[in-house]
Every structure is written in C-alpha cells, then in structure tokens.
Amino acid sequence: MKLPFEYSSIESDMVGKRFAVYRNRIGSQRFRKLVEFDMKEGGEAEGVSEWNVEEGSLKVVHSPKDGFYEFGGLEVVNGKVCMSGYHSVEKGSMYKVMMSEVSPIGEDFGLCISSHKDYEEALPGIYKSLDKAGFKGPVNVVVGGCKNVDAGKVHETGNVKVITSEVNHMGFTALSEVSDVKPYWMLLHDTCSVDSDFVAKASSIDIGLNPDMVLFGDADEKLEIGLYSAEYVKGLDLGLRSVGMLKKLVENASVVVESISVPNYKGEDDVYGSGIMRKVLEMDRVGVRKYVGRRMVGGRP
C-alpha cells in the first residue's frame, strides 16, 4: 500500500482479498470490528455497498444507513500496517476507523483451561465436547489451588496435558502454562464446553490487527474468555491477584479486539447433574458456552 491511494493500485493490490474495518477511540488499545467485506473489481464489494477512490483517499460505502468509511492514511498497529481514517457518521469525534486484511487464525492456537482442585470434576464435560468437535490442537489444563505435595504434577493423555499448580488466579490460572508451541492460546474455564462446529468457527477468528488479546465479550464485562498472544502473556507478571487482572491485561496490551462474540444468556440447565442450575452463556460465533452458577460462591468463575 502506498499514498496517495490510486484506483490502479487498489485494483492490483487489494481486489480479490477480504478486509475488516475496526473502530477505536483515538489513543485507545481497544478495537471493535464493524464489518468484513470482499474487495472486487470495478468498485464492487461483497459485504458493503461499494468502494471508490476520491482525491487520494479510499472510500468504502457501508450502506445508506451506516454511511461510509474514508481512509487517507497508513498507520502501524502492533507491527502491522493498516489504513486509517474516519467514519462519516462520527467525523470530528474522538473515534477513528482502521482497515486491515482479514487473517484467519486457522490452526495457530491451542487451548488453556483454568480449573481448581475443588471443582475439577467439571473437566470431563469440556473434554467430551472437545472430542466431539474434533479439536486436535494442544490443550493445557491447569488445576490450581493444589498444596505443595500435589503441585507440579503433569499428566498427558493424547493432546491434553493436565498440570497441577499452587497458583489460583481463578479464571486466569491457565495462562501460567502458555507456551510458544502456538502463537495464540484460547483461555477457557472448566465450566465451559464447545459446540460441534467449534473448530470451524474458532479457526475463522481474525488476527489481522496482530492483537495481544481477542476477547469474546466486552472488556468492561470482566469475562476473560478469549484468545491471548503467547508472546504477550509470557512477558507478563502473572503473580498479580485475579481481582482486577483483566483490566490490567487490557491496559498493558497494544491491541485488544473485543466483542467478537457477545455472550448471551440462553436459559438454565443442570449441566453437571448436581441439582444446581446454571445459566447457559452462549458465545455462538466462536462455538463456546459457559455455565454460570446463580451464585459465584468463593469467586468461582
């Protein structure tokens, strides 16, 4: 990409590719995707109305209702060169838009699952759902809250490694075992399960902005489930207390993509056959569910 934008260079460099437009507050590291679309010849596009070049700027028309995005500059975002501009409905505001080529994560992620010695009986449920979904990537399960005599044990079965640990960072416990085996790790809880189409959905998650974190929900909602860059996590001090940890992780990150699959409550179920009803929290776009107790006893995630 080069400036100013020209019709000929857009046709040669961008046609036939898929792009995403993100919105963020100027100076903020938090991004939210607005639209994905396929760039086609002659100003046509699939996913938005059209595109054209005006006075050295690329103009992408979303729809008559949603206005247009105008890109007149380039900006480096966490090591990736992106197009920067504004949204017509927010021109002059504190918000800007960024456009990058969509880059699906594919198989470049593992799973890390946070558990606790008092609740690890929930783990067979998520194992069963992963088997049914056909997930073949590495799975690191960290069972926290173990005493010295039990801590440090490792048990491997197939692609699943279970590590016992003294640490207890609640929902964040499994981040202590993130490694370079995969560039990204999806953080889940033992009270989660995945849908049968999980592999296809998760593999399509866009990492085109080179994010440190991709949260399934809004960062302000204190739900840590999402993707974490191994490079980012390994440079952190995970000795922090769990309270306020998500806020700290977001603040320290260079790029956080949030709300890629806004969680929705879908009734209640006695998931574990214990007589305790749990709310079913669905993150449908990524094929993940979390079962939330009516009472968060002891801070149980």
In contact, 259 and 248? CB cutoff 8 Å: no
Can you give the pLDDT at residue 272?
72
For the chain, what percentages of helix, strand and coil (3-state, to nearest 5) are there? 20, 40, 40
Q: Residue 238: what pLDDT?
A: 65
Please report the pLDDT score of residue 58 as a whole number.
Answer: 97
pLDDT tens-digit readout, 96-133: 999 999 999 999 999 999 999 988 889 999 999 999 99
Which domains are seen in the chain, by residue range? 7-101 (2.40.128.10), 109-299 (3.90.550)
Could you give phi then psi for residue 130, rounded to 5 degrees?
Answer: -65, -40
Residue 272 burial by Cβ neighbours in a 10 Å radius (0-12, 13-18, 19+): middle
- CA 2 vs. chain centroid, Å, equals 30
Residues of the chain with pLDDT under 50: 296-299, 301
Q: Using DSSP, state whether 190 is helix, strand or coil.
A: coil
